Amino acid sequence: MDIQLCDNLIGLGMSEKRTYTHLKDYTSDISYENEIKFKNDDRGNLDLTKQIDVLKAEKVALYQQVKELRNLEEGHQKLNGKLRLEIVQLKEEKERILKEQDLKNDQHTIDMLEKDNEIGRLMKKITERKQ
């Protein structure tokens, strides 16, 4: 928007938050939203009221920090409890799977022994017939 058109819009009752003096002058911030406000504190470091105010501010900050740490600790405790339950469940499932595998191995051994006995019996019959 050029300067003349901008002046016409303002003259018609339309105001903008920012008014730039040059065409496409985006480098100068005239909204003052990024300004830093300094508090002029003329009290010395030995002033008791200033020391009290500083200590109160530190106390509030420490209370906030303690509150956040307690919330964090509570979250960790809940998560730790869930993880312990999951570990117990996984150990139980592991034991169940190992028992099932042992049963399958035992059954396989029994089957192999029965087949060996059957083979031995059949071999004995074959040798008796040949004689």
Q: pLDDT by residue for the chain (131 residues), tens digit each?
A: 444 444 444 444 555 555 656 565 556 656 666 666 656 667 777 788 888 998 999 999 999 999 999 999 999 999 999 999 999 999 999 999 999 999 999 999 999 999 999 999 999 988 888 77
Cα separation, 78 vs 74, whole angstroms: 6
Q: Return all residues near 6 (Cβ < 8 A) that are at least 6 apart.
A: 16, 19, 20
pLDDT given at position 5: 45
The Cα-based distances of 2 to 8, 10, 24, 47 in angstroms read 10, 13, 8, 56
pLDDT given at position 1: 44
Q: What is the mean pLDDT of the chain?
A: 81
The Cα-based distances of 1 to 4, 5, 32 in angstroms read 8, 7, 22
